[in-house]
Amino acid sequence: MKVIRPWYAAALILALGVLGLASPAAAQLTQAAPPPHAAHPRATPESIAAGKALFEGTCANCHGIDGSGANGPNIRSAAVNLGPEGLYARIRGGAIGSGMPAFTALEDAQVWVIVDYVGSLGHEGAVLATGDAQKGKEIYDANGCAKCHAIAGQGGNLGPELSKIGVLRGTVKLQAILADPGANLPLDTSLQERAAYPAYLVYRVTTKDGKAIEGMRVNEDSFTMQLRDANGRLHSVQKFEVQKIEPLPGKTFMPSYKGKLSDKQIDDLVAYLSGLGGAQ
């Protein structure tokens, strides 16, 4: 592994500082597209150890050895927010408008071990998802995931589109979603709300004659609400014609796979999902 020169080290510290930002303003930063690159090698204890050594020599003065912050910000949640490809893209391509430069001089191997180490922060005792991505695809197909999710234009639209899920969600977050999807709903800002709200949250509408309709809110204005039910059917309700409209926190049409799939199967499925939207 090449030795990084001091001025590169200082720039890398600045870059990782941007990784730790989680505010709405930070989320709006334009991400520069990284150049074509090799796929992320499977994370191993050895790659994490190598990344830790590189991190200690280049980043720890600012972020602390454990990433919890020192002279710079806490970056322990960066991998959960960005995923491995997102971390790679942020380090390699920079973030336009943030003052973070593109680290084109770093070798891929250096970037990936840093990604592996940053990805281990906050869950050092957890088992890394080092499963078989091909077996994970077979599990995805066998469990009918494509009925609700689309990848590269193929599949349903009841759940989130997954073509770039490996960039958007880290390994730990994917594991949490599979175990308890209702507690890990993504945020959305597409409706006219004051703040982001949980997307795919199920609502129950009770009509004046006592009929109940449950579905995900897909649109709403002052007078109407549109819901999509578990079968994909759309329902439009007039608010003045119903008894009650209530959210059902924790309820989702996606089932929990905790106990339905083995730990090995979850690991394989996460390995498959983590690779989506990755190396070009």
**What mean pLDDT value characterizes the chain?**
78
Q: What does the alpha-carbon distance between residue 124 and residue 155 come to, in Å, rounded to a whole number?
A: 35
Residue type at 67 in one-letter notation = G
SS3 call for 29: coil
CA distances from 264 to 11, 98, 269 (A): 39, 40, 9
Tally Cβ neighbours within 10 Å of residue 208: 10
Residue type at 167 in one-letter notation = V
Residue 262, classified by CB atoms within 10 Å of its CB into exposed (0-12), middle (13-18) or buried (19+), is exposed
Structure tokens, 98: 């943030």
pLDDT for residue 29: 44
For residue 206, the surrounding DSSP H or E stretch is strand 202-207
Residue type at 142 in one-letter notation = A
Q: What average pLDDT score do residues 140-153 get?
A: 95
Is the pLDDT higher at 16 or at 58?
58
pLDDT for residue 7: 46
Length of the chain: 280
Phi/psi at 245 (5° precision): -130, 120
**Domains detected in the chain:** 6-120 (1.10.760.10), 133-180+256-274 (1.10.760.10), 187-247 (2.30.30.100)
Q: Work out whether strand 187-188 and strand 242-247 pair parallel, antiparallel, or are unpaired.
A: unpaired
Q: Give the pLDDT band of residue 23 (cuts 50, 70, 90).
A: very low
b/e per residue, 30-53, with b = 16+ CB within 10 A?
Answer: eebebeebeebeebeeebbebbbe
Q: What does the alpha-carbon distance between residue 20 and residue 78 come to, in Å, rounded to a whole number?
A: 5
183 pLDDT exceeds 50?
yes
Q: What does the alpha-carbon distance between residue 216 and residue 235 come to, in Å, rounded to a whole number?
A: 10
Structure tokens, 244: 């009650």
Task: Please choose, from the candidates 191, 187, 214, the residue with its C-alpha nearest in 3D space to the C-alpha of residue 203.
Answer: 214
Write the pLDDT tens digit of every residue in 42-54.
Answer: 778 888 889 888 8
For residue 111, the surrounding DSSP H or E stretch is helix 108-120
Write the pLDDT tens digit of every residue in 94-125.
Answer: 666 655 667 777 788 998 988 888 877 765 54
